[in-house]
Amino acid sequence: MQITESVALLQSAGTSAIADIFDQLKLQPPVLDNRLFPVVEGSVFAGPAYTVAGEAAIYSGNDRMKLEAIDGMTPGAVALWAGQDAQGVCCFGDLLATAMRARGVVAAVVDGGVRDIRFLRECGMPVFTRYRTPAQGVGRWKVTACQTPVKVRGALCDWLTVSPGDLIVGDADGLIAIPAAMVHQVAAAAGALSHTESSARREIAQGLPLLAALAKYGSL
């Protein structure tokens, strides 16, 4: 299976099915913090993580590392911003979102803040964020590294480590990060699970008792 096929299959399967697969593998689903919310409801995406790490800092001038990080982003990537202690300021706003979109970034996930929400709703790039704020990050928060493993807040654990290339999938149920080494395995399982669930859903809609469905399909 090609990586593009795996990405498309996992996006179609959705985060809930992916989480179920991790449960089947006896692994804790790597779900990002449920307090991250979509700027535009209904956003759906999948792509390899392009990681950006930062920290609160008092400084003068522009954050050149932030601009360099965005200039290095690649088509199809999901920009994952690890804001850490951003403390009420934004990681980016309209101009930097425009630059990301121009480079083919398919979505941005921000464990921190964003601003210019009205623009972000219309820019065509899905954005999940922890909070919105009018306060800029320049002089208050700066990028410290990109394309290195980062820590972001998790839903089932305090912190998740996400590495460059791990697959980020987002939809109406939330966000999940699949380690790069597991993408093809999880994609194959997702395809099988989606087929099973579609069959079960169709029979339940036709009146199949739930206990009978459980006996036939093994789980509901």
Instruction: Identify the pLDDT of residue 129.
Output: 97
| Total count of domains within the chain | 1
Residue 213, domain member (yes or no): no
Output the pTM of the full model. Answer: 0.89
Whether 191 is in a domain gets the answer: no
Bridge-based pairing state of the strands 159-162 and 150-153: antiparallel
DSSP 60-114: SS--HHHHHHHHT--TT-EEEEE-SS-TT-EEE-HHHHHHHHHTT--EEEEEEEE
Q: How far is the C-alpha of 183 from the C-alpha of 172, rounded, in Å?
A: 21
Per-residue pLDDT tens, the chain, 220 aa: give them: 678 899 999 999 999 999 999 999 999 999 999 999 999 999 999 999 999 999 988 888 889 999 999 999 999 999 999 988 677 999 999 999 999 999 999 999 999 999 999 999 999 999 999 999 999 999 999 999 999 999 999 999 999 999 999 999 999 999 999 999 999 999 999 877 776 676 667 867 887 777 776 677 677 6
In a domain, 89, yes or no: yes
> Which residues form the domain of 154?
3-179
pLDDT tens-digit series, residues 132-162: 999 999 999 999 999 999 999 999 999 999 9
CA–CA separation, 96 and 177 (whole Å): 24
Q: What is the CATH number of the domain that holds 21?
A: 3.50.30.40
Is 192 part of a structural domain of the chain?
Answer: no
162 in any annotated domain: yes
Residue 121 lies in a domain: yes
